[in-house]
């Protein structure tokens, strides 16, 4: 075992001094191997080792080495915003003397201020967007950390990550690239593609037992055990057993509905195991969850009730404030059980003693039901065992019959991880990136783009030049037909509008649809339908009866449009537009969620996406000489959920849609009205002294 004291003189002194304060006294095997293989001498590395094996500290050493020893910048990239935020907070706390920044938001901004920082934490899309906008500090980058590199295999996020890594290898040729993952079945192949040293390890600081349960017993590789408790319902029995050990458990389900239903069932078991002080704290947490929205929805009420009993459900339907409160309470050992969909394993680091994967299949719109992969189950099991609290963790599956025990064991526990394969070779995905190559003038010929694509993982794995060439020809023809690029001989140049589409970071197909349709839009619904019928707004909410009834009135928007060929079920797009219309007309969240069979979390994701697409629509409308006043007003109304008459009041900080309406109904109809005699007293009567003071100070 290598002691951190042996790093003196190897790592920068400033880093060495912080190790003792943080209680880091020795290196884990992957960390030791990386150091001995020359991590601090440069060169690319792929670190493939289980969750909690110390990958983040390896990245930390490389980043600090670049910043403090070589006076270069370091960039940390991850696909999920929650993960970027978590790692940013960790490093900022460890190194307060460094200038550390995070940028995960606006995709139409260069963020010039980042040039003054030592370490920059970004999401994949944000870093790609910065490159498109021509950031001027790429030459200063000495180290790029790419976390969760197994996401290359993800059809949604993988292609952008793959293009980004390939770009960085060209644009920052001298920078060290460090790729991290817990699940890479073909680690050697990926390392070869990256021209990287491979550090592969199965080390875990907390021993992980993987098993299958059936009829009150757990079956492991070399032993079996009777589970504590008396229930005949498998997940209830496992929760009873986990509670009897004084531990916490994460249970994963295929759908939001399953997670919620089980949370209700399990809360009846957990409630009796809580201490009086835990009950008091959980009651307070329940109130916080309940009032996260201005008016609680049925889901808020259900979650608050579960939380008060020590259990929470966790999925994309929650709003951020609820999600964070639940995660923090679980980390503090206040909540005993979280019932989640598999998305939780992709985000923050939330370990528990026991992880139960109740459903080994998942349902997704478009794909239907499909089996979880070995990689996914391994990721979920990776949450088992808390390094500071547990000597062992356990990951369990449930067999429905005795004969299924061995089947599950062979399929998920004894099985090899699946290899990562590129998802880049699809025309819609390439469309966006090829336009970016031309718009940034990084690559402007078919031959140049083809050569670049051969350097991607797709090119490395499949190397079918003919197929790639056909795919690329189709994309270039499409972009030329839509007038996003012009061809002059063998060179492609971006048109003014093609340049802007690339900067806006939207799919060229969506941009073409908006350009075709915006001149035909006349009212709120038609503008919102135009925005909601883009690829960026998928998946849509449920199509309501009203959507079916109104659709014929908006058929003219669909006529002759290219988007018709790739977007079906326009009634769902219209249904989503109607949900946004209701929000902009001040319909309470609770009613919208109920009417459109959605969740608060999904609604706010849609609102966030709609805000971006309304902004993009406004920018495109300017270029095609379509009036933008209606779009600008609609964007603000949709952002804040207010009718037109509240637009002036909503400018005030501390004033949202509910307070603005109360002020308006009480005679304060514009900001200027706050100066009238008696207005201060009215505001104080409505909201109390503290809030009134903050509102009036803004005058």
> What is the per-residue DSSP string for 81-110?
HHHHHHHHHHHHHH-TTS-EEEE-S-TT--
- Using an 8 Å Cβ cutoff, are 108 and 500 in contact? no
Sheet holding 196-200, edge to edge: 100-103, 119-123, 73-78, 141-146, 176-181, 44-48, 196-200
The stretches of 123-255 forming alpha helices (DSSP H) are: 124-132, 158-171, 187-194, 234-244
CATH architecture type of domain 506-641:
Orthogonal Bundle (1.10)
pLDDT digits (tens, 9 = 90+) for 395-440: 999 999 999 999 999 999 999 999 999 999 888 889 999 999 999 9
pLDDT digits (tens, 9 = 90+) for 7-40: 888 888 888 888 878 888 899 999 999 999 999 9
Cα dihedral value 320, 353, 145, 120, nearest 10: 40
How confident is the model at residue 565, as a pLDDT? 43
546-569 average pLDDT score: 79
Q: How many CB atoms lie within 10 A of CB 626?
A: 18
Structure tokens at 155: 């059809």
pLDDT at 508 over 60: yes
3-class secondary structure per residue, 339-365: EECHHHHHCCCCCECEEEECCCEEEEC
Torsions phi, psi for 208 (to 5 deg) = -110, 120
Where are the domains positioned within the chain?
A: 4-200, 207-413, 427-489, 506-641, 646-697
Pick from 12, 104, 21, 25: which is nearest to 60 by CA?
12
CA angle 468, 469, 474 (to 5 degrees): 100
**Percentage of the chain with pLDDT > 90?**
82
369 φ/ψ sector (left φ>0, alpha ψ -120 to 50, else beta): beta
How confident is the model at residue 162, as a pLDDT? 97
Q: How far is CA 549 from CA 341, 553, 554, 585, 587, in A?
A: 34, 8, 10, 20, 21
pLDDT classification of 553: cutoffs 50, 70, 90? very high
Same CATH topology for 4-200 and 207-413: the answer is: yes
How confident is the model at residue 345, as a pLDDT? 65
Q: How many CB atoms lie within 10 A of CB 647?
A: 15
* 179 vs 560, higher pLDDT: 179
Which range, 7-21, 97-111, 183-197, is most confident?
A: 183-197
Superfamily of 207-413 according to CATH: P-loop containing nucleotide triphosphate hydrolases (3.40.50.300)
Averaged pLDDT score across all residues of the chain: 93
How confident is the model at residue 365, as a pLDDT? 60
DSSP of 521-566: --SHHHHHHHHHTSGGGPSP-PPPHHHHHHGGGGHHHHTT-GGGGT
- CA–CA gap between residue 270 and residue 261 (Å, rounded): 15
Count Cβ atoms within 10 A of the Cβ of residue 693 and give its class: 0-12 exposed, 13-18 middle, 19 or more buried: middle
pLDDT classification of 364: cutoffs 50, 70, 90? low
CA angle 277, 281, 286 (to 5 degrees): 140
pLDDT at 161 over 60: yes
pLDDT digits (tens, 9 = 90+) for 119-149: 999 999 999 999 999 999 999 999 999 999 9
How confident is the model at residue 612, as a pLDDT? 96
CATH of domain 646-697: 1.10.150.20
pLDDT at 595 over 50: yes
pLDDT classification of 583: cutoffs 50, 70, 90? very high
Q: What is the DSSP letter of 10?
A: T
644-651 average pLDDT score: 96
pLDDT at 544 over 60: yes
pLDDT at 567 over 60: no
CATH architecture type of domain 4-200:
3-Layer(aba) Sandwich (3.40)
């Amino acid at each position: 075992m290598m002691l951190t004291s042996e790093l003196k003189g190897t790592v920068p002194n400033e880093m060495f001094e912080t190790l003792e304060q943080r209680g880091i006294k020795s290196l884990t095997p992957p960390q030791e191997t990386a150091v001995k293989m020359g991590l601090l001498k440069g060169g690319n590395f792929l670190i493939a080792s289980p969750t909690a094996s110390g990958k983040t500290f390896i990245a930390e050493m490389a980043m600090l080495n670049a910043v403090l020893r070589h006076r270069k910048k370091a960039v940390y990239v991850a696909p999920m915003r929650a993960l970027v935020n978590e790692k940013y907070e960790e490093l900022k706390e460890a190194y307060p003397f460094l200038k550390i920044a995070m940028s995960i938001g606006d995709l139409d901004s260069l963020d010039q201020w980042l040039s003054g920082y030592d370490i920059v934490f970004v999401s994949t899309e944000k870093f790609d967007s910065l490159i498109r906008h021509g950031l001027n500090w790429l030459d200063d980058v000495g180290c790029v950390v790419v976390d969760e590199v197994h996401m290359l295999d993800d059809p949604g996020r993988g292609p952008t990550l793959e293009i980004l890594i390939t770009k960085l290898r060209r644009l920052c040729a001298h920078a060290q690239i460090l790729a991290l993952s817990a699940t890479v079945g073909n680690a050697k192949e990926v390392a070869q593609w990256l021209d990287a040293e491979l550090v592969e390890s199965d080390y875990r600081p907390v021993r992980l037992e993987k098993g299958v349960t059936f009829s009150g017993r757990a079956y492991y590789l070399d032993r079996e055990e009777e589970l504590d408790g008396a229930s005949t319902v498998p997940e209830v029995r496992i929760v009873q057993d986990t509670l009897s050990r004084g531990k916490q458990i994460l249970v994963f389900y295929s759908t939001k509905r399953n997670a919620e239903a089980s949370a209700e069932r399990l809360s009846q078991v957990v409630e009796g195991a809580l201490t009086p002080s835990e009950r008091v704290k959980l009651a307070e947490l329940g109130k916080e969850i309940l009032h996260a929205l201005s008016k609680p929805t049925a889901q808020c009420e259900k979650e608050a009730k579960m939380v008060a009993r020590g259990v929470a459900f966790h999925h994309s339907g929650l709003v951020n404030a609820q999600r964070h409160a639940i995660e923090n309470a679980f980390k503090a050992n206040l909540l005993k059980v979280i019932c989640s969909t598999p998305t939780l394993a992709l985000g923050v680091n939330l370990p528990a003693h026991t992880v139960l994967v109740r459903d080994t299949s998942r349902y997704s719109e478009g794909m239907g039901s499909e089996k979880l992969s070995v990689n996914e189950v391994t990721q979920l099991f990776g949450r088992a065992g808390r390094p500071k609290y547990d000597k062992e963790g356990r990951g369990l599956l449930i067999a429905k019959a005795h004969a299924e025990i061995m089947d599950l064991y062979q399929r998920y526990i004894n099985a090899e991880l699946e290899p990562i394969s590129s998802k880049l070779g699809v025309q819609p995905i390439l469309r966006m990136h090829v336009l970016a190559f031309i718009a940034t003038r990084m690559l402007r010929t078919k031959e140049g783009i083809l050569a670049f694509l051969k350097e991607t993982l797709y090119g490395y794995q499949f190397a079918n030049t003919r197929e790639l060439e056909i795919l690329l020809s189709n994309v270039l023809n499409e972009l030329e037909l839509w007038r996003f690029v012009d061809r002059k001989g063998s060179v492609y140049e971006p048109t003014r509008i093609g340049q802007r589409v690339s900067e806006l970071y939207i799919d060229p197909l969506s941009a073409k649809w908006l350009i075709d349709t915006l001149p035909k839009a006349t009212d709120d619904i038609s503008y919102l339908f135009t925005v909601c019928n883009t690829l960026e707004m998928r998946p849509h909410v449920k199509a309501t009866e009203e959507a079916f009834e109104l659709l014929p009135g908006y058929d003219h928007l669909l006529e002759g449009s290219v988007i018709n060929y790739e977007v079906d079920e326009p009634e769902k797009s219209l249904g989503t537009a109607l949900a946004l219309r209701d929000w902009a007309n001040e319909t309470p969240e609770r009613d919208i969620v109920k009417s459109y069979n959605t969740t608060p979390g999904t609604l706010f994701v849609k609102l966030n996406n709609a805000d971006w697409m309304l902004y993009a629509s406004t920018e495109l409308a300017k270029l095609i000489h379509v009036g933008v006043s209606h779009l600008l007003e609609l964007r603000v109304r949709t952002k804040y959920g207010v009718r037109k008459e509240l637009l002036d009041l909503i400018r005030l900080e501390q004033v949202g849609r509910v307070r603005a309406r109360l002020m308006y109904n009480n005679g304060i109809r514009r900001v200027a009205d706050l100066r009238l005699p008696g207005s201060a007293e009215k505001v104080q009567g409505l909201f109390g002294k503290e809030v009134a003071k903050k509102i009036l100070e803004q005058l």
